Amino acid sequence: MKPRLDGRRAALAAALLALALVPAVADEFYVVLFTKILVLGIFAMSLDLLVGYTGLPSLGHAAYFGAAAYAAMVLAPESAPANLLLTLPASVLVAALLALATGALAVRTAGMYFIMVTLAFGQMAYFAVHDSPYLGGSDGKLLFARPVVAFGGAAILDFAEPQVYYLLVLACLAGSYGILRAVVQSPFGRVIQGIRVNEARMQALGYATYRYKLASFAIGGAFAGLAGYLAAYQAEYVNPKLLGWQESGLALVMVILGGVGTLHGAVLGSAAIVLLQEFFSELTSHWMLLLGLFIVGSVIWLPHGIVGIRAWARRARTR
User: Minimum distance between the CB of residue 88 and other proteins, rounded to whole angstroms?
Assistant: 20
Q: How far is the CB of 97 from other proteins (least distance, A)?
A: 18
Least distance in Å: CB of 209 to other proteins? 7
- What is the 8-class DSSP label of residue 82? P
Please report the sign of the dihedral spanned by the C-alpha atoms of residue 48, residue 54, residue 59, residue 61: negative
| Nearest distance, CB of residue 218 and other proteins, angstroms | 12
Please, which residue, 111 or 206, has the CB nearer to other proteins?
206
The b-or-e profile of 34-67 (16+ CB within 10 A means b, else e) is bbbbbbbbbbbbbbbbbbbbbbbbbbbbbbbbbb
3-state secondary structure of 141: strand
At position 122, the amino acid (one-letter code) is G
204 vs 300, beta carbon nearer other proteins:
204
Between helix 84-106 and helix 111-130 the angle, nearest 10°, is: 140
- CA 241, CA 279: separation in Å to the nearest integer? 23
Nearer to other proteins, 194 or 240 (CB): 194
Query: Of 30 and 207, which CB lies nearer to other proteins in the complex structure?
Result: 207
304, 259 in Cβ contact below 8 A? yes
Which residues lie below 8 Å from residue 65, measured CB to CB, with a gap of 6+? Answer: 43, 95, 224, 225, 227, 228, 231, 242, 243, 247, 251
Q: Which residues bind other proteins (CB under 8 A)?
A: 182-183, 185-191, 194, 197-198, 200-209, 211-212, 215
How far is Cα of residue 57 from the mean position of the Cα atoms in its chain? 14
Shortest separation between residue 47's beta carbon and other proteins, angstroms:
18
CB of 215 to other proteins, least distance (A): 7
Residue 194 or 220: the one with the smaller Cβ distance to other proteins is 194
If the CB atoms of residues 156 and 197 are measured against other proteins, the closer one turns out to be 197
By beta-carbon proximity to other proteins, the closer residue of 95 and 183 is: 183
CA dihedral 81, 85, 90, 95 (to 10 degrees): 90
CB of 202 vs other proteins, minimal distance in Å: 8
